[in-house]
Structure 1
Amino acid sequence: MSFLFRPLLTCTAGSARTFALLSLALTSGCATMPQPRNLAGAQYQPAQRVAASAATDRCLTPALPAALGALVPEPAEALAAFPDILGPGDRLRVDVSGDKDVLSHDYVIAANGSLTINGIGAIPAAGRSSAAVALEVRDRLVAAGLIRDIANNLRLVSTERAGVAVSVEGAVFEPGVIVAGDRPNESRATTVANPALGDFNNGRSLATAIRAAGGLRPDAALDAVYLVRGERYARIDLRPVLGGVEGSDGSGGLPVDPQLARGDRIIVPSAGCFQTRLVRPSPVTAPGIRVYMSNLSRPAASNAASAIGRDATSLPYGTRFLQGLIAANCIGGSAMNAGRSAVLISHNPLNGHSVVISRKVEALVRDADRDAVDPYLMPGDAIACYDSTAMTVVDAVGVVGSLLGPAVLVKSLNR
């Protein structure tokens, strides 16, 4: 046994001196965490305070999107007052006077936008109002000799409004094609089992579509949101959504929130600046966000032990870095571990650059100007906590002790 440990005993002669040297070597590189490096322009919000980034807090009036140059502008109220537009999946009820089972039925608009009526075949329905479709159905039935030309002898009403596919572009967190007003199967089954003359799907609105696309980013131009329908477009001011929030520049009340049709485009330009008034739950912003957390601290060897689960990482929109650290159980505990540091990993959606910032936890808790260096958390951000210098030294001493322990034991046995 002494033969096996003789090289180790030779290396550890004068155990006290070697212990001190090893401890110093192990802790010299871990006493302080190096500051993260970021590209110039990576900063997204002023509270991040990245030295290499130029502060840009002046909002600009966005220019008219190039895609709208050849289209016809209309007042927002005109699109809002436009009759509801039919789309694929909508369920319609046709009632003909004196008829029960031949022509009078519930019909569903097909995926290609057509409505097939007994005796007259398919009729284009998607993109048209219920009144226009009802008039064509009546004219065709009269022409086919299936009904008489008597006033008010045919009624067509919508009994279920399905979701519509629209495009949301620009300063939203998840741009792309979304289905606005899509209903779960349980809700649709209830509607079919309890038919009513008429239906209103409040999910087919502009505000709901924006929220389904992740909500407005803090740099969105709230007063210049464009709704494009065919060859027309309208500029919509959503500032009243914020109500009486300071700095909202809105008069309160209800904003114009038109119903959507299949194929509509929603364009949200960027104002080029971070607006804190948009970082809160509202009808056009995200109600909550998901943040990734890691707290592999000395007293907790895993995220599970730190009580970081799904509920802890799902936070209300408007949560700041310091609140996120509390959710990650990174604040509090022993005095030895009070001097912890934490990093926030985020990205700038304007240019796609990632940004990593480091903060001293106790400084965020105790400094009066904490709001100036306490960023808001954005969807998909990540938080990681690092132990204090004191706990790093303790861990280093433990490593040295685990190395020297067998050597000391063998040396004692050989005496």
Structure 2
Amino acid sequence: MSISAFRKGAAAIAMTATLAGCMSGPAPSNYETALYAPQQLGTGRAGHPRGDWVQATPVARGAPACDWRVPRELDNYRRARVEEFADINAPLAPGDRVSIRVIGDPDGLSGTYVVASDGTVDLRGIAPTRAVGGSPEMLQDRLRARLVAANLVRPLRNAVSVSLIEAAGVSVAVSGAVFEPHAVRAGERSPELRSVAAGGIAGDDNTGRTVSAAIRAAGGVRPDADVQRVYLIREGRYVALDLSGLVHGWASQDIPVTTGDRILVPSRRCFDAGLVRPTPLTPPGIRVYMSNLTRSANNNAGAAIGEKTTSLPYGTRLLQALVAANCVGGSYMQSDRRAVLISRNRINGRSVVVERDIETLVRDATRDADDPYLMPGDAIACYDSRWTNLSEAIGVVSQGLGAVTPAILLDNAL
């Protein structure tokens, strides 16, 4: 190989690499039904500086015709009034501790009892008495009737008294427009708190045994949730609860739950930015995956990406997370970078990838329309600027020339 031929080849390689370094990768492709929020579509210049997005779905457009319908599975249940559920204050559940006192008790029936897993309380001399789903007053009436029928007490009005000592955690199934639909334990307490409750203090108020607490335990409501119609299903009946007050700061219909309850949060099939913030119904924070493997930061540890930066308050937008990932700022040659947001449509499960020019997003006044909210489990990746790519391309060519030069010298010597 002659030196002249080598120089021509090297020049071609250098030009190709230089052009490749200045070019940007193709815009991410998404299915039309993958878009979840209006900010993912991008309506301003900051949203899609390269290429056009596909047409948005009604969910992404935030169309006024938000869907609402009664879930068909409720056809199998009878609708009840809220008072039928709310009148029962803190329904008893398995694991609850109750104090039972019997007047003139020569048989030692008085004491502290734990509601069994089958929902009953077992006193000597009578059959197990059902306690689950009712109030302590209901259990008191049932015990009095049975003890009187068994001739163990006189038919006095105050022959038996029942009071709650400790309200244990309960199992509740949560489904619908929540981030983690599954069976949860609402109001579960640590052993330390349970030992305090067992110290003879009468009465208990387990604030974790409510509809809102069960929804939070299931990850909180999604932005498409209908918080004005949350359905609580219990023993063949259901009731519609308006929990919007917990989001907007006024009175709501949050009521206690018991074992076996089901909570169904319907979807409106449209994005409500008012639900993307910490509230009693939404998650306080989210975990986001970040990658900033750039020339200025060769690894995530060097980019100061750790547990505290990837755990963000709910309501954080892409640009704020890019600052946490050290993708914003620096020299101008390195600041012209791009970022992608990898998310998922929470309604149909389709993945969506959003690309943004970081510097355009910082400087353009339309940034709010193009700056997506982050959802739990989203991922962010930063790409090098064109200048950094050019520098890398020149470095690769220089390395190639350095490796080939000894071979050329040896070929000319021969």
Common topology (TM > 0.5): yes
Within the candidate set 194, 201, 204, 1:196 is matched to 201
Find the counterpart in structure 2 of residue 393 from structure 1: 390
Within the candidate set 32, 41, 46, 1:40 is matched to 32
Find the counterpart in structure 2 of residue 20 from structure 1: 11
Q: Indicate if the aligned counterparts of 1:12 and 1:404 stay in contact, CA closer than 8 A.
A: no
Q: Indicate if the aligned counterparts of 1:181 and 1:204 stay in contact, CA closer than 8 A.
A: yes
1:105 partnered with 2:111: yes
In structure 2, how many angstroms separate the alpha carbons of the residues matched to 1:347 and 1:363? 24
1:150 partnered with 2:156: yes
In structure 1, how many angstroms separate the alpha carbons of the residues matched to 2:26 and 2:276? 30
Change over 3 Å in CA distance of 1:378–1:120 after alignment to 2: same
Within the candidate set 309, 329, 340, 1:312 is matched to 309
Find the counterpart in structure 1 of residue 240 from structure 2: 235
Q: Indicate if the aligned counterparts of 1:216 and 1:285 stay in contact, CA closer than 8 A.
A: yes
In structure 1, how many angstroms separate the alpha carbons of the residues matched to 2:157 and 2:41? 72
Find the counterpart in structure 2 of residue 368 from structure 1: 365
- The 5 A counterparts of 1:342-361 are 342-361=339-358
In structure 2, how many angstroms separate the alpha carbons of the residues matched to 1:100 and 1:326? 73
In structure 2, how many angstroms separate the alpha carbons of the residues matched to 1:302 and 1:357? 23
Q: Percent identity?
A: 46
- The 5 A counterparts of 1:282-297 are 282-297=279-294
Superposition deviation, residue 283 in structure 1: 0.7
In structure 1, how many angstroms separate the alpha carbons of the residues matched to 2:132 and 2:231? 22
Find the counterpart in structure 2 of residue 247 from structure 1: none
Q: Indicate if the aligned counterparts of 1:77 and 1:256 stay in contact, CA closer than 8 A.
A: no
- The 5 A counterparts of 1:16-415 are 17-30=8-21, 31-49=23-41, 51-56=53-58, 57-58=62-63, 59-99=65-105, 102-192=108-198, 194-243=199-248, 252-408=249-405
In structure 1, how many angstroms separate the alpha carbons of the residues matched to 2:141 and 2:10? 94
Find the counterpart in structure 1 of residue 46 from structure 2: none
In structure 2, how many angstroms separate the alpha carbons of the residues matched to 1:151 and 1:214? 46
Q: Indicate if the aligned counterparts of 1:42 and 1:53 stay in contact, CA closer than 8 A.
A: no
Change over 3 Å in CA distance of 1:359–1:100 after alignment to 2: farther
Change over 3 Å in CA distance of 1:165–1:13 after alignment to 2: farther
Superposition deviation, residue 17 in structure 1: 4.3
In structure 2, how many angstroms separate the alpha carbons of the residues matched to 1:223 and 1:316? 24
Superposition deviation, residue 11 in structure 1: 8.3
In structure 2, how many angstroms separate the alpha carbons of the residues matched to 1:196 and 1:68? 41
In structure 2, how many angstroms separate the alpha carbons of the residues matched to 1:27 and 1:163? 64
Higher RCO structure (Cα 8 Å, ≥6 apart): 2
Superposition deviation, residue 77 in structure 1: 4.1
User: For 1:235-271, what per-residue CA distance to the aligned partner results, in whole angstroms no more than 9, with x for missing partners?
Assistant: 112222232xxxxxxxx52211111121112111111
Q: Indicate if the aligned counterparts of 2:67 and 2:270 stay in contact, CA closer than 8 A.
A: no
Paired amino acid for 1:367? D
SS in structure 2 of the partner of residue 168 of structure 1: strand
SS in structure 1 of the partner of residue 339 of structure 2: strand
Superposition deviation, residue 374 in structure 1: 0.6
In structure 2, how many angstroms separate the alpha carbons of the residues matched to 1:272 and 1:291? 24
Superposition deviation, residue 18 in structure 1: 4.0
Q: Indicate if the aligned counterparts of 2:32 and 2:57 stay in contact, CA closer than 8 A.
A: no
Moved more, 63-72 or 331-340: 63-72
Relative to the length of structure 2, the TM-score reads: 0.89
User: For 1:82-117, what per-residue CA distance to the aligned partner results, in whole angstroms no more than 9, with x for missing partners?
Assistant: 333111111111123355992222111121212222
Superposition deviation, residue 215 in structure 1: 1.0
In structure 2, how many angstroms separate the alpha carbons of the residues matched to 1:112 and 1:63? 36
SS in structure 1 of the partner of residue 92 of structure 2: coil
Q: Indicate if the aligned counterparts of 1:41 and 1:52 stay in contact, CA closer than 8 A.
A: no
Gaps of 5+ in 1: 1-9, 244-251
SS in structure 2 of the partner of residue 67 of structure 1: helix
Paired amino acid for 2:69? A
Paired residues, number? 397
